[in-house]
Amino acid sequence: MLRRRWVDAVVVVVVVLAFVLAPQAYSNETLLFQMMVYIALSQGVNILYGFTGYLPFGYVGFFGIGAYGASLLMLHLNWPPILALLGGGAIAVLLGLVLSPLLRLSGAYFAIASLAASQAVYLIVSNPALQNVTYGPYGIQLVSQFNPTLSYYVMVVILALTVAVVLYIRRSRFGTALQAMRDDPVSAAMAGVPVVRQRTFAWMISAGIAGLVGGAFAWQTSVFYPDAVFSLSISIFAIVFTLFGGAGTLLGPLFGSVVLYGMYNTIGISDPQYFQLIYGLLIILLVLFLPDGAASLLKRRGSHVL
């Protein structure tokens, strides 16, 4: 048990150090920041999909509401950025709570319903009728709060927190119960696991992570339109990175994010359709030939994947 704790601590420290030191070696801080965003988001997807089997196509809704929540708290109530970030996370958790009845639906219904929910939130936030509150389609400007360095390090902290949460879940009774529920919800309930409550809890943790990340993204970017933080592609990236690396593990989604997001930046930014084509094909091939992701290749050879 003690040795496991050490391993966990080392993993968190390595991740933190990697992103603290990376700007010294590589000058594109924006790319590093966005890589952290996607690692954290794919871990958020991982908590839900990897441990409960629920696939949140609409995950971006939490990211977007976190970005908007944090921004509006800064703009309307003059909250300092870090406090506003926490506020954005809290609002995302609240949205998760409001949407938690969706978790009564079975897999495919849930996936599509969550997609519909995120679109609904986007259409509400970006609606011209709410221009006085959300600035509608005209987007957010946080110029006076712009602080790329501090927001970068705050993102490192959020990432570390996310990694720690995933590690905790993997090790804990809660995590085992989630996996049991994913394998068979009826058996889990008969084993005494309060299935809906546990699932809701995982959903809200997952929502909170996306909300915090969204807030950090808003702060770092400081000028953005609603479609930038509600774009379905954000959900898609997080899901593909998770599936590629291997859901249910810590390192899988991390690996997936670093490799695929790196790839996206070399080929995708100017012609995103090529990348879309590649990951579309990747999804099809993964599902047909490697449903448990890259991590399962190692597992097949007998290694334990953290």
Q: Is 172 left (phi over 0), alpha (psi -120 to 50) or beta?
A: beta
With residue 141 as reference, give the H or E element that holds it.
Answer: strand 140-141
* 243 contacts another protein (rule: CB under 8 A): yes
* Nearest approach, Cβ of residue 245 and another protein (Å): 15
Q: Is 75 a binder of another protein (CB under 8 A)?
A: no
Nearer to another protein, 17 or 124 (CB): 124
CB of 243 to another protein, least distance (A): 7
Using the minimum distance from each CB to another protein, give the nearer residue, 147 or 231. 231
139-to-135, 221, 223, 229, 232 alpha-carbon distances in Å: 6, 12, 7, 10, 17
Any residues with CB less than 8 A from the CB of 101 and at least 6 apart, and which? none
Burial category of 306 from C-beta neighbours within 10 Å (exposed 0-12, middle 13-18, buried 19 and up):
middle
Count of residues engaged in binding another protein, rule: CB under 8 A: 58
Contact region with another protein (CB under 8 A), list: 15-23, 109-117, 199-207, 218-226: 109-117
Alpha helices in 184-305 (DSSP H): 185-190, 195-221, 226-230, 232-245, 251-263, 272-289, 295-300
Stretch that binds another protein, among 22-30, 49-57, 199-207, 251-259 (CB under 8 A): 49-57
Rounded Cα distance between 156 and 7, Å, is 19
The type of residue at 232 is L
Where does this chain touch another protein (CB under 8 A) — which range of 15-23, 85-93, 111-119, 206-214? 111-119
Q: Which x/- pattern, by CB under 8 A, does the window 214-233 give for another protein?
A: ------------------x-
Q: Which of 40, 177, 210, 305 binds another protein (CB under 8 A)?
A: 177
115-134 residues in contact with another protein (CB under 8 A) are: 115-117, 119-120, 123-124, 127-129
Which one of 33, 38, 57, 230 is in contact with another protein (CB under 8 A)? 57
How many CB atoms sit inside 10 A of residue 179's CB? Answer: 17
Residues 36 and 15 sit within 8 Å (Cβ to Cβ): no
Supply 202's token pair.
């995982």
Give the footprint of another protein on this chain (CB under 8 A).
53, 55, 57, 101-102, 105-109, 111-113, 115-117, 119-120, 123-124, 127-129, 173, 176-177, 179-180, 182-184, 186-195, 232, 236, 243, 273-274, 276-277, 279-284, 286-288, 291
